[in-house]
Amino acid sequence: MNTSRIASRVRRIKPSPSTSAADRANELRRQGKSIVNLVVGEPDFDTPAHIRRAATEAMDKGATRYTLMAGTVELRQAIVAKLQRENGLTYAMNEIIVTSGAKSAIYNAFAITVEPGDEVIIPAPYWVSYPDMVIACEGTPVVVACPEANGFKLTAAQLEAAITPRTRWLLINSPSNPTGASYTAPEYRALADVLLKHPHVMVMTDDIYEHIRFDGEATAHILAVEPALRDRTLVVNGVSKTYAMTGWRIGFAAGPSDLITAMDTLLSQTAGNCCSISQAAATTALNGDQSFIAESVAVYKQRRDRTLAQINAIPGLSCATPPGAFYLYINCGDLIGKTTPAGKSLQQDSDVVMYLLESAGVATVAGTAYGLSPYFRLSIATSIDILDEGCKRIAGAVAELQ
Ligand code: PMP
């Protein structure tokens, strides 16, 4: 292994488990199996027409060249306005950087701050990429299990216990992928009280699902609850989920200017600016007609309610109602220890997921990928017909277990 020409920090990271699950499902499909794919974590809607039009117009007007590394003035102004309007957060232009998706914002924020061995507190279940991003920066992910009984959320006591002198960041993702768990203002208050005692800990908020809420609540923000954290908080967001723009690759970070400047320097020497055409489209997404959000959320909600009811009717499975995002994180603890018709014992959630895939052709992702077992994740960002078929197959496969 030491002779590998791939650096050890890269050898330590794993390929994304959701990509691997999707690859396996595609392979089975190529072999002629009928596969219901409930893996994909992206909106199944087209990007709204007025946003697509803005891209065409931008191309026609010659917006086809390099932009400022931090993003066009128009887009950063739109982000400043969005943060003020929607989150009550005040930022200046030099406190914003546009990145190639929220993913790049998170990775680059770690890249500019994490020294070897620095710790990043990641509440589990977590989005699959967080720990590997930390590892890629030679940091140490400190995973804190947040059980279903606590709404899959980090408590103040857990945070206090996880902080060490080496803690660099606390990462908050609300609503969360994969559980939809969303912190309330009082919950943020409790976390903020702990953070105020530990000034060396920075806070990264991944707000990518903020608008995908089903309970009529506006998504709270820790900075709105405790503005004193502003100087050590990095707000990460983007247009991928809210405006069905995953392929356009526009995310952003807002934070203290030293962090933003360092990200600007690193990105200017590595990736360069984001696609000029996508930036024009994202500007229109943020400044333009917002009705797509309510329309798409209404559709997600219908799917969530219908799929949740079907899953919860299956003996052996249970799923808490996710208040946001577009996933169901299903508890399959009661299936552990059961035996498949082929005589295989289900020892862990990845066995359950493999059984559902191989025997029923339903592709999902095992809880092990998200750091909290025994669960599996199913995406509701697909049609009702596909979801119904998936639930029917899951019910059939579970009924055959002994
Ligand atoms: N954060 C979370 C929690 C996500 O689920 C995703 C997408 N799967 C991202 C960030 C990445 O978003 P983007 O497309 O903006 O890179």
Pairing mode of beta strands 233-238, 36-37: unpaired
What number does the ligand 1 atom closest to the CA of 250 have? 15
Q: Torsion angle of alpha carbons 222, 225, 230, 234, nearest 10°?
A: 20
Q: Is the CB of 132 under 6 A from ligand 1?
A: no
What is the C-alpha to C-alpha distance for residues 332 and 317, in angstroms, rounded to an integer? 5
In the chain, the percentage of residues whose pLDDT exceeds 70 is: 99
What number does the ligand 1 atom closest to the CA of 106 have? 10
pLDDT at 24: 84
Question: Whose Cα sits closest to atom 5 in ligand 1?
Answer: 177
pLDDT at 321: 97
Residue 21 has pLDDT above 80, yes or no: no
* Cβ proximity of 102 and 206 under 8 Å: yes
Could you give the angle at which helices 276-287 and 73-87 cross, rounded to 10 degrees?
Answer: 30
What is the C-alpha to C-alpha distance for residues 166 and 331, in angstroms, rounded to an integer? 34
Strand order in the sheet with 365-366: 327-331, 375-379, 365-366
Residue 16 has pLDDT above 90, yes or no: no
Ligand 1 centroid distance, CA of 102 (Å): 6
Residue 19 has pLDDT above 80, yes or no: no
Closest CA to 187 of 222, 144, 228: 222
What does DSSP assign to residue 114? P
pLDDT band at 47 (very low <50, low <70, confident <90, very high): very high
* Cβ proximity of 83 and 235 under 8 Å: yes
The single-letter code of the amino acid at 194 is: V
Ligand 1 centroid distance, CA of 337 (Å): 34
Residue 60: partners with Cβ closer than 8 Å, 6 or more residues away: none
Ligand 1 centroid distance, CA of 238 (Å): 8
In 3-state terms, what secondary structure has residue 34?
Answer: coil
DSSP string, 154-213: --HHHHHHH--TTEEEEEEESSPTTT-----HHHHHHHHHHHHT-TT-EEEEE-TTTT-B
Q: What is the CATH number of domain 8-46+292-399?
A: 3.90.1150.10
Q: Is the CB of 177 under 6 A from ligand 1?
A: yes
- Bond from prior residue into 178 cis (ω within 30 degrees of 0): yes
pLDDT at 367: 96
pLDDT band at 344 (very low <50, low <70, confident <90, very high): very high
Using CB atoms within 10 Å of the CB of residue 397, give its burial: 0 to 12 exposed, 13 to 18 middle, 19+ buried: buried
What number does the ligand 1 atom closest to the CA of 100 have? 16
Pairing mode of beta strands 233-238, 251-254: antiparallel
Q: Is the CB of 102 under 6 A from ligand 1?
A: yes
The single-letter code of the amino acid at 24 is: R
Query: What pLDDT digit, counting tens, does each position of 262-320 carry?
Result: 999 999 999 999 999 999 999 999 999 999 999 999 999 999 999 999 999 999 999 99
Q: What is the CATH number of domain 61-287?
A: 3.40.640.10
Q: Is the CB of 207 under 6 A from ligand 1?
A: no
Q: Is the CB of 253 under 6 A from ligand 1?
A: no
**202-238 b/e with 16+ CB inside 10 Å = b?**
bbbbbbbbbbbbbeeeebbbbbebbeebbebbbbbbb
Residue 3 has pLDDT above 70, yes or no: no
Q: Is the CB of 240 under 6 A from ligand 1?
A: yes
Q: Is the CB of 246 under 6 A from ligand 1?
A: yes
The single-letter code of the amino acid at 304 is: R
- Whats the size of the chain, residue-wise? 402
In the chain, the percentage of residues whose pLDDT exceeds 90 is: 93
Q: Is the CB of 274 under 6 A from ligand 1?
A: no
Q: Is the CB of 101 under 6 A from ligand 1?
A: yes
pLDDT at 23: 84
- What stretch of H or E contains 88? none
Query: What pLDDT digit, counting tens, does each position of 58-93 carry?
Result: 999 999 999 999 999 999 999 999 999 999 999 999
**Ligand 1: which of 42, 240, 243, 274 to mutate, judged by most atoms within 8 Å of the beta carbon?**
240
What ranges do the domains of the chain cover? Answer: 8-46+292-399, 61-287
What is the C-alpha to C-alpha distance for residues 337 and 335, in angstroms, rounded to an integer? 6
pLDDT at 217: 86
Closest CA to 323 of 301, 338, 344: 301
Using CB atoms within 10 Å of the CB of residue 281, give its burial: 0 to 12 exposed, 13 to 18 middle, 19+ buried: buried
What is the C-alpha to C-alpha distance for residues 98 and 274, in angstroms, rounded to an integer? 7
Please provide the average confidence, as pLDDT, over all residues in the chain: 96
Q: Is the CB of 208 under 6 A from ligand 1?
A: yes
